[in-house]
Amino acid sequence: MPADSTLIGRSVPRAAARRTVEGLGRYTDDLDAAGVAHVAFLRSPHAHARVLGMELDEARAAPGVIGVYTAADLAAVCAPWQTRLAALPAHVSPPQQALAGDIVRYQGEPVVAVLATSRRAAESALELAFVDFEDLEPAILPADIFEPAQGFDAAAWAPQLALDRQIAHGDAGAALEGAAHVVRHRFAFGRQTAVSLEGRAVRAEYDRRSGRLSVQQSHQAPFQMQQIYAELFGLPLGRVQVAAPDVGGAFGGKLHAFPDEIAAVALAVLTGRTVKFTADRLESFLADAHAREAQAEARLGVDDDGRILGMEIDFAAGLGAYSIYPRGSVGDALQAIQLAPAAYRVPSYAGRARAWFQNKAPVGAYRGVGQPIAFALMEQMLDLAAAACGLDPAEIRRRNYREAPDTPGPTETGVVLESFTTRACLDTLLAEMDYAGLRAEQAALRAKGVYRGIGLTSFVELTGVGAQLYGPQQVRVAAQETCRLSLEPDGTLTCRTSVTDQGQGTLGGLAQIVAETLGVAPHAVEMIAGDTAATPVGGGAWASRGMALGGEAALRASRGLAARLRAVAAPLLQCEEAALSFSDSGVEGPGGARLSFREIAETVAFRPYLLPGGTAPALEVTESFLPPDLPYLATNGVLAAHVEVSPDTGLTRVLGFWAVDDCGRIVNPMLVDGQIRGGVVQGIGAALFEECRYSADGQLLNGSLVDYRVPMAADMPDIVVRHIETPTHQSALGAKGVGEAGTVGALGAMWCAVNDALAPLGTTVRRQPFTPEHVLSRLHGLEEEFD
């Protein structure tokens, strides 16, 4: 791509890319003209119970009801499923069905489905359905979850311990024994959920004559769901179509197969009707994927100069009732212990991760998957070590950063880095935020009883993840991204991509790449995405892959199509191919002679006899991309938070936030900065507000937006974003990905900032979110570590 490109690196509005996929819409109260039926679910009110019997006749007789269905009914068309990970053979999740059978394992698990002519009619009929439950003792993790087996029902899972993984390098115990300073901290991370703007939704239609299943779904990975539906319903893959329209937010929460959505599709297959399900906000809190319920204890040893000698992390997590299908629920735990030391030289390291099944909603992917936890652990430990050594927090980081690798290679814990620019990111950040000035202001205000804190987090984000993650686990998830670029006979450009868009603006960025290469306006590129019947196979949207992988595929396809256009235009314009250039939707030769794309396309389609040999190359190119030499494309950066904590109210106010990120080549600065700022907002929300709170008997206590606090605009400071650009050598485009960077580092920056503010008061926060209640309890010595 030419160095003086005019579109790559510019902010082009998202609307510049035209889209051909329509949204799902929302449910209506009446059966629409297409005869769509609506399903609603009776969900378990218990965290753990046995189903003794059901009385469903009144519900079946209710107005508008088409049918009432149980697990046995759906089992006639839908097979059960079970999450298994080949590389973790001891990780065995219970088999799962679209509707629960004899045992329910979490509050909100669907038990009975009512299909009716409207959502209103289905919900009204649910009031007439009766299920007799025998309440069983729930397995809810105790205050200290490192050894909870004694509180578990042995009949619920076999085994209850879902994961026990250890990573070791050097002799961490000996290193800590010989360290001049050893610091220790315990952490508790609150369970969260994605709360995307648009809830989950699915619309399924099954044609009994052709045996074809068509599903529209608010999802991140349509090809994954095509595989799952084909397997569960015993259909050939080619007879299953899954379309994921322009989705209104996902954040990893729409990356899984959910039993209520599978039940809706099963009802379409069973009844031959078009069936629609839309999760409302209340049932989303119960039944969507949760994430990040965990505890950790860490020890870090340094010498008198503050250089790290050794580190130990003991990590434990709750996974929920099932390991979520098909990717599993162990990502938070595994990535927490592997990535914590990724940015630093840690000569000796030992990490252990355990995870337990429990009677709560299953844990799944949420923006960053374990990485926010990893860097919160590491950065807080560095701040404690800096205090022990009398060093500034920025200085101890600078002394311990790992050096940039000469060639791509793994760290001590196996994290593969191609480049590493955290020193440059830190220098840029400190200058941008006036770090020295803020420290001077902090000292002056402390003398007046005002407690402000500054927190830093250095991070490594794993982006553009390839087949090495799920392939060895034998999980059928496509990892490459593909672009099929066509010049239609009317001269329009159609870009079909495997990448899906949940509001990131990825399709607009891909349109920029095509437009720049072929000399057209971005709005002239017709973008088609999110449909297994219309687009090439690929992963969709996860692990910051849209531009890193999908963008490179689009660039390669654009260059391939450009070569074919030159081959056709050169003999028509009677010049060498090298003399041709692209502009204004056409090809221009010497002396101003030109052919429009339409003229070229019509010649190829309708008058190939005008070309040498009477034939022409197809004006369609398909290209796929995965990093050829690496398992993923790792980015890095540094974030900083500036907060004020009131010792009287326990409230934390965020005064400022800064981010410096190296995501490789930037295609669209507006979209990149938007991704970072959005991620930071989610990280601040996790730090201060968000938590799914459960009672001791497994009841969700705050299952609505009245009680589950999410960050508002008024809570947020100005978020300053700057960049270091180090293109990856794995692709011609050079983009690495950026979708999770803000979230990955924000929690750690906030944790360090709040504890920095509290340092003169002699206490630290240990439990996230840092609610006023937790802060005041720590200040007044009223709270045990994890009570």
Using CB atoms within 10 Å of the CB of residue 786, give its burial: 0 to 12 exposed, 13 to 18 middle, 19+ buried: middle
- φ/ψ bin of 121: left (φ > 0), alpha (ψ from -120 to 50), beta (otherwise): alpha
The residues, any chain, with a CB within 8 Å of residue 436's CB and separated by 6 or more, are 430
pLDDT the model gives residue 472: 94
What stretches of 149-207 adopt beta strand conformation (E)?
A: 161-169, 181-189, 192-193, 201-207
Burial 551-570 (b: 16+ CB within 10 A, else e): bbbbbbbbbbbbebbbebbb
274 forms bridges with which residues in the sheet? Answer: 36
Instruction: Collapse the DSSP code of 20 into the 3-class scheme (helix H, G, I; strand E, B; otherwise coil) and give the result.
Output: coil
Nearest Cα neighbor of 366 from 84, 705, 747 is 747
* 3-state DSSP assignment of residue 59: helix
Residues of the chain with pLDDT under 70: 1-34, 142-144, 147-159, 783-787
Residue 596: beta bridge partners? Answer: 586
pLDDT of residue 35: 85
Q: How far apart are CA 269 and CA 531, in angstroms?
A: 20
Q: Helix, strand or coil for residue 299?
A: strand
Cβ-contact 367, 502 below 8 angstroms: no
What pLDDT does residue 251 have? 96
Q: Which residues contact 762 (CB under 8 A, 6 or more apart)?
A: none
Apex CA 357: angle with CA 476 and CA 169, to 5°? 75
pLDDT at 139: 85
Residue 639 phi/psi, 5° resolution? -120, 155
Rounded Cα distance between 147 and 497, Å, is: 47
CA dist 452 and 678 (Å) reads: 24
Q: How far is the C-alpha of 463 from the C-alpha of 636, rounded, in Å? A: 10
**Residue 438's pLDDT is what?**
98
Quickly tell me which residue has 């570590």 as its tokens: 785
Q: Which two tokens stand for residue 36?
A: 């769509």
d(CA 287, CA 254): 12
d(C-alpha 285, C-alpha 304), whole Å:
49
Query: So what's the pLDDT on residue 216?
Result: 98
Q: Which pLDDT score, from 0 to 100, does residue 785 have?
A: 54
Cα-based angle 37, 38, 41 (whole degrees, multiple of 5): 140
- Residue 787's pLDDT is 44
- Extract the runs of DSSP E, i.e. beta strands, from 532-632: 581-583, 586-588, 594-596, 620-625
Tell me if 167 sits within 8 A of 337, measured CB to CB: yes
**How far apart are the C-alpha atoms of 496 and 517, rounded to whole Å?**
16
Q: Give the pTM.
A: 0.94
Q: Measuring CA to CA, which residue among 461, 412, 392 is closest to residue 311?
A: 412
Strands 348-357, 18-19: parallel, antiparallel or unpaired by DSSP? unpaired
By DSSP bridging, strand 348-357 and strand 308-320 are parallel
pLDDT of residue 516: 97
